[in-house]
Amino acid sequence: MQLWFQTWQEVETYLQHAQGIIIPIGSTEQHGPNGLIGTDAICAEQIARGTGELANALVAPTISVGIAGHHMGFAGTMTLAPTTLIRLIGEQVEALAAHGFRSFFFLNGHGGNIATVQAAFAELHAARWRAGLPEVRCKLLSWWECDGVQKLWRELYGDAEGLHATASEVAVTRYLFPEHIKNVPLDPAIAPTSHFYDARDYRRRFPDGRIGSNPALSTPQDGEKLYKAAASGMAEAYRAFLAEPWDGAAV
């Protein structure tokens, strides 16, 4: 259930029996020669949609630009400063908390967001504690962390899965948007892997943008399996998050 497609009365009714909401968060950044710039936001948004259906949960609008400074050496990448994302997350959670939402499940599509999102949670909790506001809970989980997804990509791609522009995320976008499949030769087939420093260093080490992956292996059929495993794994994680013991009286 997407928040955008409800009326305010429907949201009031939802809040009478539920206080949880799913917030997809991704990134708008290069994903190599055959991966879409929207890959991380598309995967987070669409998997969140499936998760919301399975868990009967509301899904907020996607935070579609994240922390992608290290991809700025490639055209089309957009990024926020970490401090901007921390404020954006804090203000969005506070807006929803004002209406009675208490459990915020961030469904993540981009590894580069993780440190900043955790910092945003720490800022939010500290500010609410100082102000004496009621307890809220925030959880961040990346869709590829589900056991079912991990098992699938190991079977499908093994070492060719990689770390950026991964075979599995490209497969999910190929399943969801087959009209946007790009068939571009990749050389080398499996991209190099190493650490990197800044955007210039990234471009130097990974000239076509991929890290360690061979997304030429990605098919829409794989993407469908990965999408379904992710949606069901995330729905299970969401339900477990809501079922955790809750001491709402503690401030």
CB 211 within 8 A of CB 167: no
Q: Which is nearer to Ni ion, 19 or 39 (CB)?
A: 39
Least gap, CB of 39 to Ni ion (angstroms): 5
Nearest-CB residue for Ni ion: 40
For the chain, the residue count is 251
* Smallest distance, Ni ion to C-beta of residue 73, A: 16
Please state the closest distance from residue 144 (CB atom) to Ni ion, in A.
Answer: 9
The Cα 97–Cα 91 span in angstroms is 10
CA distance 152 to 47: 16
Q: In whole angstroms, how close is the CB of 230 to Ni ion at the nearest point?
A: 13
For residue 245, the SS3 value is coil
* 97: alpha, beta or left? (left if phi > 0; alpha if psi -120 to 50): alpha
**Mask 3-42, x = binds Ni ion (CB under 5 A)?**
------------------------------------xx--
* Smallest distance, Ni ion to C-beta of residue 14, A: 31
Helix (H, G, I), strand (E, B) or coil at 98: helix
Q: Looking at beta carbons only, is 40 or 222 nearer to Ni ion? A: 40
Buried/exposed 1-14: b ≥16 CB within 10 Å, e otherwise: bbbeeeeeeebeeb
- The values of phi and psi at residue 128, to 5°, are -70, -35
Query: Toward Ni ion, which CB reaches closer, 51 or 168?
Result: 168
Site string for Ni ion, 161-180 (x = CB under 5 A): --------x-----------
Phi, psi of 108 (to 5 degrees): -95, 145
User: How many residues line the site for Ni ion (CB under 5 A)?
Assistant: 3
x/- letters, 40..79, toward Ni ion (CB under 5 A)? x---------------------------------------
Residues lying near Ni ion in the complex (CB under 5 A) are found at 39-40, 169
